[in-house]
Structure 1
């Protein structure tokens, strides 16, 4: 059995600054810290030889899923998305976090060292749920989709404790949204909604007349946390980020999933055409402890890490 997204590995330039930002903006706490290096992480994270990383796992207090694994390399590179001038490119793109009130959350984000990309905009997610949505940057230029939901009573997202959440989704920019959705469906995810959004070019900063095909996929046992959001700019093709989305460059490096049987998960990944990114290793994984793990490429060359507890 494969889990929802347990972690997203985010490479940052200054670990203390990044921790303060997520603490001040979302009330996150530090769950684990570690120093990593060596051959096992070269296989799992594509960490170059001789490079060491300091790691802090952050998220809401009590959260065991949807957490961020902040990583600072001793010789940091540059943001692999650059200034997002080519926002149509493919791979891990943005982190989505739900907040109780959008305007105050965006102000906290700015005060903590972030900056805005698109101001809060209201749109209908499903007939039962509307959202106030915003796009911002964290201090390292990672895009954060910070949003407030207005769910109807009894709807899928109605169960909410009023706190800033753990990671609700990681957004993957795709060359073919339906193909990517089939891949994650094979892992156990199911679509929450599948829609084409038009007339949002100003919000997404894309050319006029380009619609967004948006598929939001949930893991049935954990629908509110650790989802996959698939985004395709229809008629506006991009390029793979595979060669740039590697340590020590900065940005969203991988999404991590727990599995109860890594060998069976590997068979499944082979069957659906996934490409391994390295060999299977045994390692102490920050936030998870001793595990057997392996990384694979998703359909848009996004790095996916699967781990089984030892």
Structure 2
């Protein structure tokens, strides 16, 4: 079997510019690589007739966080809670969760203050402007 390796973790958004600003500012990411993909092969590949995708890739330690805005836009699939079947979340590690939390802009929605789980991992979930869940953790 072919060996697999992580390449990117994708998040579909409705407003790419707003999402880029949030991820860049909230997580102190470097400016992303941006590009657009369209054409018949892309539309067939994603299974969306006439699709065009505007992409932004944040590169982190060899993997990418991919934000993509599609035209045409599909139905909202954001899970309101992490335990809903089909819900997704992005996990990002920090060295000091309390410092990260203290530095959050007041406009960033959180599910709770940082908490320590039974496993000893410290976690805090935030939402991006699209409602997507992001787990910020300190292992």
Question: Match of 2:101?
Answer: 106
The counterpart of 1:138, out of the listed 105, 128, 134, is 128
Cα distance in 2 for partners of 1:107, 1:139 equals 19
Question: Match of 1:51?
Answer: 51
Residue 113 of structure 1 deviates from its aligned partner by 4.6
Larger-Rg structure: 1
| Structure richer in strand, relative to its length | 1
Structure 2 length normalisation: TM-score? Answer: 0.82
Residues 28 and 58 in structure 1, CA contact (< 8 A), matched pair in contact too: yes
- Residue deviations 1:259-288, cap 9 Å, x none? xxxxxxxxxxxxxxxxxxxxxxxxxxxxxx
Q: Report whether the alignment pairs 1:121 with 2:112.
A: no
Residues 43 and 51 in structure 2, CA contact (< 8 A), matched pair in contact too: no
Residues 21 and 112 in structure 1, CA contact (< 8 A), matched pair in contact too: no
Q: Which runs of 5+ in 1 are unaligned?
A: 150-310
Residues 18 and 70 in structure 1, CA contact (< 8 A), matched pair in contact too: yes
Cα distance in 1 for partners of 2:11, 2:3 equals 21
- Residue deviations 1:53-102, cap 9 Å, x none? 21110134xx322x111111234344303533x83313x61111001211
Cα distance in 2 for partners of 1:143, 1:44 equals 26
Within 5 A, what are the aligned runs for 1:110-189? 111=105, 113-125=107-119, 130-149=120-139
Q: Tell me, what secondary structure is at the counterpart of 2:20?
A: helix
Residues 12 and 18 in structure 1, CA contact (< 8 A), matched pair in contact too: yes
Structure 1 length normalisation: TM-score? Answer: 0.40
- Residue deviations 1:223-277, cap 9 Å, x none? xxxxxxxxxxxxxxxxxxxxxxxxxxxxxxxxxxxxxxxxxxxxxxxxxxxxxxx
Q: Tell me, what secondary structure is at the counterpart of 1:10?
A: strand
CA distance change for structure 1 residues 116 and 34 in 2, over 3 Å: closer, same or farther?
same
Cα distance in 2 for partners of 1:17, 1:123 equals 32
Name the count of aligned residue pairs.
Answer: 138
Calculate the aligned-residue CA RMSD, in Å: 2.4
